[in-house]
Structure formats: structure tokens, C-alpha cells
Structure 1
Amino acid sequence: MRWNVWVDDWQMQCCGEPFHVGSTVSWTLTPADRDWLTQVLGEETAATIDWGEEHHSDPSPGRRQVEARVTGIAAVHARMEPLPGENAYHPVDGVLSPRTSADGWDPDAGDLKFVGYVVTLAAGP
């Protein structure tokens, strides 16, 4: 079984453990926020991400615990746009860049801000 999982930059920075391709991870997964992912990565890429890695939310019926091997990592950098009528920004137009490891602290890339990772996990034989 394979899953593509969204990992927020701030979740990794706060409570995450660094990992690399080939690592075995034990994660709590929640259903992915497809609306948000569509804004950042576009509809086609967002549709491939079913789960988000989670450290902080309350238990919910959709949560699942997995132990799986990391088979792929892509850092996501995005252009930031102001939210209408607010003093806040949200990411849009994300770019995926392959990585062999992740620690939550990828540097920004020019005017693109690091916002997280798309991680592919494989469970079972």
C-alpha cells in the first residue's frame, strides 16, 4: 500500500523527527485538506495526496496510525499572496523539488517560501 502525505513545515519544526528516503516512520495521519492543497499545488497534484501528517489535532474518526517506509520526498516552495482584507498571507503556486531527506528547515528559494513536504510512504511487503 502507498500513500502520498502532506507534512507541514511548522509541524516538522515543532515536533517532527528528521527522516530520509528509506526511513521507517510511525505517523498519525488525518484526511488531507484538499482545498488548501489545491491552492498551493494545483488540482492535479492535490488529488494525489490523501493524508496529512498530524501532531496537534484532537482525535477524530478519520485518523489512522501508520508505520511505513519513506520512498519519496519533495519539498514544496510557494509564492505568498495576501489574504483579501487581512494582514496575513497564504501560499499559492507551489513548486515541488525532490529531496533525499527532510528536517523541516529547507531554506526559502528566492521569492518562494518553504511550506512543507509531499512524502510518499509504502507499507507492507
Structure 2
Amino acid sequence: MTWTVWIDGWQMQCCGADFVPGDLVSWTLLEVEPEDYADIVGGERADEIDFREEHHGQEEGHTPTSVEVVSIAAVHCRYEVSPGASDKVSHPVPGSTVLVPVEKADGRADPRTGVRFAGYLVTVRRTAEVP
């Protein structure tokens, strides 16, 4: 059985440990609401996300889960300030997603024209061992 895990780019850039397919990792996995990711990855892909990885403090009641990394895709999308918004905060633009298969997640995805790096979609398989 495989799961799809979302990892925020900013978390990897801040203090994430690099990983590649085949690595055994121990992550705190939290359940997600797919609609929270629809603007970033598209509705169909958002429905496939099972968990998000969280490593900025232990979430109460969640212990790390040992998984094997199967594949990694860097997620890029366009960000814009919503028309009429007074806060001037940029938000993901639906339909602008670019998925790029990568061989390593290190928080430093190669730049793409017209879009910004947002995070990773990682396919993992649960393991019985803790790395």
C-alpha cells in the first residue's frame, strides 16, 4: 500500500532533511483536507493526498511513522494577489500547477519560468522498521 504525502517547500528549506527514492524516513504524518491543496496541485491530485508531513514540533497524539520513499515530484505553481484583495497576499492560481519528477528533495527545486516552487508530492510505502 502506498500513500501520497505533501511536504511544504518552506519546511524543507527551513530545516528538512534531504531524501531520495529508496530512503527510509520517520515522519510525523497528519491527515489532510484535500480541498486545502486543490489550488496548489489541482483538484484531482489533491484528492490523492493522504497526509502532510509536519516536523516543526510534535503534534499531540501523533508519533512518527516509518516509511520508504518511492517517488518524488516537485510542485510549482503561479502565485498572484487576488483581484480586489486589500491584504496584498499572494495565493496559488488554480490551474497553474507544474509537476516535475525529481530524484532528490532538498528544498531547492530548479526554477521554472512563470511559477514558484511550492512543495513536494511524495509517494511512500509504510515500513515496519524505524530508520
**Could you list the runs of 5+ residues in structure 1 that have no partner in the other structure?**
none
SS for the counterpart of 1:120 is strand
Q: Following the alignment from structure 1 to structure 2, what is the Cα–Cα distance between the partners of residues 85 and 64? A: 40
Secondary structure in 2 matching 1:87: coil
Measure, in 1, the Cα distance between the counterparts of 2:18 and 2:119.
13
TM-superposed CA distance for 1:79, in Å, is 0.7
**What is the CA–CA distance in structure 1 between the aligned matches of 2:97 and 2:8, rounded to whole Å?**
13
Could you list the per-position Cα deviations for residues 12-69 of structure 1 after superposition, in whole angstroms to 9, with x for gaps in the alignment? 01121000011111101111242231111111110000100001256245x4521111
Q: What is the alpha-carbon distance in structure 1 between the residues aligned to residue 8 and residue 33 of structure 2? A: 11
Contact 1:9 1:114 in 2 (8 A): yes
Question: What corresponds to 1:107 in structure 2?
Answer: 110
Please give the secondary structure, in 2, of the residue aligned with 1:74.
strand
**TM-score computed with the length of structure 1 as normaliser:** 0.89
Distance (Å, rounded) in 2 between the aligned partners of 1:2 and 1:91: 27
Which of 117, 123, 129 is the aligned partner of 1:120?
A: 123
Q: Are the structure 2 counterparts of residues 43 and 64 from structure 1 closer, same or farther at C-alpha, using a change threshold of 3 Å?
A: farther
What residue is the counterpart of 1:85 in the other structure? 86
Secondary structure at 1:14 match in 2? helix
Contact 1:6 1:32 in 2 (8 A): no
User: Which residue identity is paired with 1:19?
Assistant: F
**Alignment size in residue pairs:** 124
Does structure 2 retain, via aligned residues, the 8 Å contact 1:30–1:64? no
The answer to whether the Cα contact below 8 Å between 1:31 and 1:52 also exists between their aligned partners in 2 is: yes
Output the aligned Cα RMSD.
Answer: 1.7
Task: Name the SS for the 2:38 alignment partner.
Answer: helix
Identity of aligned residues (%): 40
- The reply to whether residue 50 of structure 1 matches residue 53 of structure 2 is no
In structure 2, runs of 5+ residues without a counterpart are: none
Q: Which has the larger radius of gyration?
A: 2
Structure with more strand by fraction: 1
